[in-house]
Amino acid sequence: MFLLNFGFTDINFPHLGLYLKNVRDGFSVFGFRIALYGVFIGLGMIFGYLVTDWTAKRTGQDAEKYLDFTIIAIIISVICARVYYVVFNWSAFSDHPLSVFNLRTGGLAIYGGVFGGITTAIVFAKLRKMHVGLFLDTAIVGLLTGQVIGRWGNFVNRECFGTYTDGLFAMQVDVRDAASYFDPSSSLDYVNNLFAGKPEALANVMDIRNHAIVTETATYIQVHPTFLYESLWNFVLLILLLIYTKHRRFRGEICLLYLIGYGIGRFWIEGLRTDQLFLWNTGIPVSQLVSAVLAGVGAVLYCVLFLKSKKPKEQKAETEGK
């Protein structure tokens, strides 16, 4: 028996004229509950592999090796994504430690998956005696494909949204589907204590509360759909990298362009979010910090390897000119 019996809600994009009714977050099959969040993550993994396989064949590589890698990388990346999330959000698990193992309600930080996947790719390529740069170039487009699709899991989970906005893409979410501190009826003392030492985050939360929209049936908060921004940013980046693949100047260039492009986009998007993971007892958004470091390191490495790739040609031209 196939039943859609999970929670459902309305999600509106008023300035786009989109009013989505009864958006569900899961379904059940023969009594087994399946979260749509997990479905989107699974689809991201499948299509990520297919794009990697296509890229490997397109560049004349042995695609079978990427299947072996994908199976290993998925397991390690999911573990790393969960560890990253738990480490920087331990207060949500400290009272119920076993909930760490329940992934169906969300709680995967993509940067943990990125680090896990890239590390796995480097180790795998070295063990199989493959060129690390070429392997990373091929695997990274699969990772990016997974990110494009996986972000829609945040949509059905009603999470990863940003600050208040009345712009074109403004999204209205029932406050009952959001964190309790967004609810205008929740205690101000509770909110102030929760965001003590994080004045910018507190101001963003209060701005959302102050602009809450009350109807006869529900109270809505109106926010930036940052999950959508990131999915679209990643999609454009993916297309550009796939087009550029056959024009790369050196092996590893596609991976470095990913680090730069994704780092820049995520830095901007992370600045809009209101559910950030903070660097422990500070007001520093950890993923925004990581994004800046990622883009900076990627840019430095790109410049070094780009100049290095030009040297042989320049030396050859100088020799021929003598």
Q: Is 250's pLDDT higher than 50?
A: yes
Same domain, 3 and 89: no
β-strand partners of 11: 20, 173
**Residue 318, pLDDT score:** 45
Q: What's the whole-number mean pLDDT along residues 213-234?
A: 94
Identify any residues that bridge with 172 across adjacent strands, giving them in sequence order. 12, 222
Query: CA–CA separation, 11 vs 254, rounded Å?
Result: 37
Residue 56: domain span: 34-158+228-321
Same domain, 42 and 91: yes
What is the mean predicted confidence (pLDDT) over 200-221?
A: 93
- As a whole number, mean pLDDT of residues 115-142 equals 95
Q: 79 is written with which tokens? A: 């573990």
Amino acid at 22: N
Last residue of a domain, one of 183, 205, 223: 223
* Beta-strand pair 219-223/213-214: antiparallel
Residues 110 and 8 in one domain: no
Q: How many residues does the chain have?
A: 322
Q: Please tell me whether residues 38 and 134 are part of one structural domain.
A: yes
Query: What pLDDT is attached to residue 106?
Result: 61
45 and 190 share one domain: no
Helix/strand/coil for 174: strand
Same-domain pairing of 45 and 171: no
User: Is residue 242 domain-shared with residue 182, that is, in the same domain?
Assistant: no
Select from 223, 252, 267 the last residue of a domain: 223
CB contact set of 158 (below 8 Å; sequence gap of 6+)? 9, 11, 25, 173, 174, 177, 178
The answer to whether the CB of 24 falls within 8 A of the CB of 4 is yes
Does pLDDT of 4 surpass 50? no
56-71: average pLDDT: 93
Residues 125, 13: one domain?
no
The tally of domains found in the chain comes to 2
pLDDT score of 31 more than 90: no
Which of 67-76, 86-95, 230-239 comes out lowest in average pLDDT? 86-95
Q: Which of 206, 223, 240 finishes a domain? A: 223
pLDDT at 319: 43
Give the pLDDT mean for 111-121.
94
Identify the band that residue 5 occupies on the pLDDT scale cut at 50, 70 and 90: very low
Same domain, 176 and 282: no
Tell me, what's the pLDDT at 26?
81
Is the predicted pLDDT of residue 316 greater than 50, yes or no? no
Mean pLDDT in residue range 144-173: 93
For residues 87 and 65, state if they share a domain: yes
Asked whether residue 260 falls in the same domain as residue 195, the answer is: no
Using alpha carbons only, how large is the chain's radius of gyration in Å?
A: 22
Condensed to tens digits (0 to 9), the pLDDT of residues 255-302 reads: 999 999 999 999 999 999 988 888 877 778 899 999 999 999 999 999
Token code pair at residue 145: 């494909």
Same domain, 191 and 269: no
Strands annotated E in 123-184: 171-174
